[in-house]
């Protein structure tokens, strides 16, 4: 969730040195101390963590051996005026053609600030821009009709759509006398325009169920998940929020906002009752905490551990940080990796970071502004293609120092995998590495190197990486 006093971090674009081409001129055997191999003991991630639908539609997204990629389809303070759903809808075909398999949308329902709100102060979960309340009919993003058209178009492109769900707190209620506080509280949601999920003071802490749950946020009324009435309206009833979003609005999954504010059992129950892909925003760099939450919520979680390690690696000149523990190494099926999002944007050297998440295990996310405005879209599309077609099997870290990082995806089910070489230094670097392939010609699928080396019979080969950049190697086929 975007804290109301945050500003989106300024992006410092890194200008990469022009790629050079060099001829391979050394085929001697590597010294035994040149390459240090470390295998990460993680489960293989070889498919999307959600259903792709049936059939293969020419020109639409079709899941490849490496899985899919998620697009965060917004940023903080997207333009006002109710046109954002149309903006996203118009980009879906290009995203699908580029290999993006799902889009995450901002909170879609009417919030306290009406047409000006980013949706994280929800008032009426069933008003998608079709009721006149909180000063407007449309939300900041548009009308219900436009949202439904976006979702329909995404499904036609064989893409999934994830809803951002804010169930920790509400905003925009009317004042009422509250016997549990002895004061008036803004907890009267009895007159919401949709008529669905009316709420009063006993549906928020403190109340007859206790004084608080895991955490309130920003002074907003803190929704009481211990109350069976609240549980029913959120996920239990046939017309609950979750089931309405899934069955009527046709959302395919959920991004749960601020899950520190309530127990993981809430998401677990939602998932059991409603279904669909889910990921939680647990803003914590401790991988033990991330794993604990994901297991107890039966949900994916954003890999904040990887996020902060990437900042240390790519911005602070210490690629050894990538040896450290991360959620994708613990359980790639429950790790959603990212380089930036609407809340936090601290990694400046972004292209190597995207090369990292798009060649490694986990479910990688592309940030809208990085893709559409700030970075090189052609290079990102190249990385997405590599992810979808070559990034298979578990991961072995082959070499790290402050400036260099080399890892191998070991391949799966006939797919050859890859070797990624990230170079933070200001000059070309070369290394002998052990590959998956014996006596095979390989190439750099980024085009950054023009070498076409052949692996030795023992699967070793020398590869290179350009300065302040990366190369990604696989069979020349």
Q: Residue 465: inside a domain, yes or no?
A: no
Q: Residue 296: inside a domain, yes or no?
A: yes
Helix (H) or strand (E) holding 357: helix 350-357
| pLDDT tens-place string over residues 11-63 | 333 333 333 333 333 333 332 223 333 444 333 223 333 222 223 334 588 98
Phi, psi of 390 (to 5 degrees): -125, -20
Q: Residue 241: inside a domain, yes or no?
A: yes
Q: Residue 406: inside a domain, yes or no?
A: no
How many domains would you assign to the chain?
A: 1
**Domain CATH code at residue 262:** 3.20.20.80
CA atoms within 13 A on the CB side of 165: 31
Under-50 pLDDT residues of the chain:
2-58
With contact defined as beta carbons under 8 Å apart, do 215 and 252 qualify? no
Q: Residue 113: inside a domain, yes or no?
A: yes
In this structure, what DSSP letter does residue 332 have?
G
| Confidence at residue 20, expressed as pLDDT on a 0 to 100 scale | 34
Q: Residue 404: inside a domain, yes or no?
A: no
CA atoms within 13 A on the CB side of 348: 12
Q: Residue 455: inside a domain, yes or no?
A: no
| pLDDT tens-place string over residues 245-299 | 999 999 999 999 999 999 999 999 999 999 999 999 999 999 999 999 999 999 9
168 is in an annotated binding site: yes
Catalytic residues: 257, 281
Question: Please, which contacts does 89-97 make with residues 24 or more away whose CB atoms are closer than 8 Å?
Answer: 89/146, 89/149, 89/150, 89/153, 89/154, 91/372, 92/150, 92/153, 92/154, 92/157, 92/159, 93/153, 93/157, 95/71, 95/157, 95/159, 96/59, 96/60, 96/61, 96/157, 96/158, 96/159, 97/59, 97/61
Burial 48-78 (b: 16+ CB within 10 A, else e): bbbebbeeeeeebbbbbbbbbbbbbbbbbeb
Q: Residue 441: inside a domain, yes or no?
A: no
Reference 358, options 42, 45, 82, 62; nearest CA is 45
- Detail the DSSP E strand segments found in 101-234: 102-105, 110-111, 122-124, 160-165, 174-178, 183-188, 204-205, 222-223
| Confidence at residue 79, expressed as pLDDT on a 0 to 100 scale | 98
Range of the domain at 234: 65-392
| Confidence at residue 59, expressed as pLDDT on a 0 to 100 scale | 59
Distance CA 272, CA 267 (A): 8
Classify burial at 363, counting beta carbons within 10 Å of its beta carbon; exposed 0-12, middle 13-18, buried 19 or more.
buried
Task: Please identify which residue in the block is written with the tokens 């990629």.
Answer: 69
Whole-model pTM: value is: 0.89
List the Cα angle 205/208/214 in 5-degree steps.
35
| Confidence at residue 220, expressed as pLDDT on a 0 to 100 scale | 95
Give Dmax over CA atoms of the chain in angstroms.
82
Q: Does 212 sit behind a cis peptide bond, omega within 30 degrees of 0 on the bond before it?
A: no
| pLDDT tens-place string over residues 340-359 | 999 999 999 999 999 999 99
């Amino acid at each position: 969730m975007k804290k109301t006093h945050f500003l989106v971090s300024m992006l410092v674009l890194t200008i990469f040195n022009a790629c050079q081409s060099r001829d391979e001129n050394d085929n001697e055997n590597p010294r035994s101390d040149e390459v240090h191999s470390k295998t990460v003991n993680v489960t293989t991630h070889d498919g999307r963590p959600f259903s792709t639908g049936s059939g293969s539609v020419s020109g639409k997204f079709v899941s490849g051996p490496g899985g899919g990629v998620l697009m965060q389809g917004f940023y903080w303070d997207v333009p006002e005026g109710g046109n954002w759903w149309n903006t996203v809808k118009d980009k879906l075909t290009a995203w699908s053609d580029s290999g993006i398999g799902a889009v995450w949308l901002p909170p879609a329902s009417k919030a306290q600030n009406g047409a000006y709100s980013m949706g994280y102060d929800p008032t009426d979960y069933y008003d998608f821009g079709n009721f006149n309340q909180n000063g407007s009919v449309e939300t900041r993003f548009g009308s219900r009709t436009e949202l439904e058209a976006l979702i329909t178009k995404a499904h036609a492109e064989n893409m999934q759509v994830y809803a951002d769900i804010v169930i920790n707190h509400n905003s925009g209620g009317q004042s009422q006398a509250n016997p549990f506080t002895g004061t008036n509280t803004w907890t009267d949601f009895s007159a919401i325009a949709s008529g669905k999920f009316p709420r009063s003071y006993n549906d928020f802490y403190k109340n007859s169920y206790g004084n608080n749950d895991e955490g309130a946020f920003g002074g907003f009324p803190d929704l009481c998940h211990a109350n069976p009435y609240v549980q029913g309206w959120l996920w239990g009833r046939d017309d609950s929020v979750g089931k309405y979003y899934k069955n009527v609005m046709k959302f395919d999954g959920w991004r749960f906002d601020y899950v520190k504010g309530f127990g993981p059992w809430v998401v677990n129950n939602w998932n059991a009752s409603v279904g669909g892909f889910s990921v939680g925003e647990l803003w914590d760099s401790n991988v033990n905490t991330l794993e604990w939450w994901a297991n107890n919520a039966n949900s994916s979680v954003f890999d904040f551990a990887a996020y902060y390690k990437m900042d240390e690696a790519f911005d602070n000149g210490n690629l050894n940080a990538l040896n450290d523990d991360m959620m994708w190494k613990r359980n790639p099926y429950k790790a959603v990796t990212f380089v930036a999002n609407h809340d936090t944007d601290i990694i400046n050297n972004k292209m190597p970071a995207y090369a990292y998440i798009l060649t490694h295990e986990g479910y990688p996310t592309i940030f809208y502004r990085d893709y559409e405005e700030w970075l090189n879209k052609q290079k990102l599309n190249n990385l997405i293609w590599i992810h979808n077609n070559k990034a298979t099997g578990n991961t072995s870290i082959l070499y790290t120092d402050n400036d260099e990082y080399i890892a191998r995806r070991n391949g799966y089910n006939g797919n050859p995998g890859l070797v990624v070489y990230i170079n933070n230094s200001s000059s070309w670097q070369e290394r002998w590495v052990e590959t998956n392939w014996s006596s095979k010609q390989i190439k750099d699928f980024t085009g950054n190197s023009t070498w076409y080396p052949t692996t030795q019979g023992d699967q070793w080969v020398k590869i290179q990486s350009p300065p302040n950049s990366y190369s990604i190697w696989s069979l020349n086929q």
